[in-house]
Amino acid sequence: MTIQSVGVIGAGQMGNGIAHVFALAGYDVVLTDISAEALDKAMILIGKNLDRQVSKDKISAADREATLGRVRTTVTLAELGQCDLVIEAATERESVKHAIFAELLPHLKPETILASNTSSISITRLASRTDRPERFMGVHFMNPVPVMQLVELIRGIATNEETFSALITVVEKIGKTATRAEDFPAFIVNRILIPMINEAVYTLYEGVGSVKSIDESMKLGANHPMGPLELADFIGLDTCLAIMNVLHDGLADTKYRPCPLLVKYVEAGWLGRKTGRGFYDYAGPEPVPTR
């Protein structure tokens, strides 16, 4: 099963990064989004990230131009139909993902592999709503995609060995390291990471520490490169809450109950860096704690 062309659904922070690494590795990429403006912003960001790689001597200027030349954008989902691999990187809501796959399926080649970049939702359940559960996998990239080395590969109960082997080869070709995770809520990374972030929010909620003291404690006391509340803002508080809800609903364990303060921030639209305000306010030259 040879993969040469890749479709990426969603031009947000994950989708543009996925398009970047595949194009840089030599794949022809079709990037789609419902918003033409989002596609334009994605291409500008890909260019800036490639510039950063050139400045660090990781790639050449010629590599940069060739990479950009391999990415085509479209607002028409059906144009991904002839791709060998299609990776969905839309918002972390299961209903949205089902709707995307339903619209895409009539246009796909029979041999096309479908994948989701979901960070927590059941791969088996997503695959069951398609016409090719045996050629469906979870391919979970870490953020920011061009920098982070890990890709979680998650097989649904119906995923066949040929599909799994093809995706192992793809991950190697784009210069990443694959780890296999079983299809349980939030897989490996987020099963460990997001409850830690949720506990940090509880620590803030209960008045044990301030935003600054919690983040400094984990950076200086546990040698984390980024504090948990700073990291939550980077990921997006809505995404953190969605993953906690998947864990809570899927495992029925009260230890995964989302912190009420996390819920409140999301209700307020304080989602972190992408909205300019979360556990920090990003309006000024330096982030300022909001509590």
Could you tell me if 106 and 173 are in contact, meaning their C-beta atoms sit under 8 angstroms apart? no
pTM score above 0.75: yes
Same domain, 169 and 218: no
Residues 23 and 138 in one domain: yes
**pLDDT tens digits for 56-95?**
999 999 999 999 999 999 999 999 999 999 999 998 889 9
Other beta carbons less than 10 A from residue 227's beta carbon: 24
Q: Is 63 annotated as a binding residue?
A: no
Question: Does 58 lie in the same domain as 145?
Answer: yes
pLDDT at 92: 86
Alpha carbon distance 178, 155 (integer Å): 13
Q: Is 140 noted as a catalytic residue in this protein?
A: yes
pLDDT of residue 114: 98
Q: Is 10 annotated as a binding residue?
A: yes
Please answer whether residues 163 and 171 qualify as being in contact, where contact means their C-beta atoms are separated by less than 8 angstroms: no
Q: For residue range 193-208, what is the model confidence (pLDDT) as tens digits?
A: 999 999 999 999 999 9
Mean pLDDT of the chain: 96
Domain boundary residue, one of 138, 160, 182: 182
CATH assignment of the domain containing 266: 1.10.1040.10
161 annotated binding-site participant: no
What is the reported pLDDT for 1? 72
Give percent of the chain above pLDDT 70.
100
Specify whether 248 is catalytic: no
Task: Report the pLDDT averaged over residues 149-155.
Answer: 98
218 is in an annotated binding site: no
Domain that holds residue 195: 191-289
Q: Would residue 198 show up in a list of annotated catalytic residues for this protein?
A: no
Catalytically annotated residue among 5, 16, 116, 119 = 119
How, if at all, do strands 85-88 and 71-74 pair? Answer: unpaired
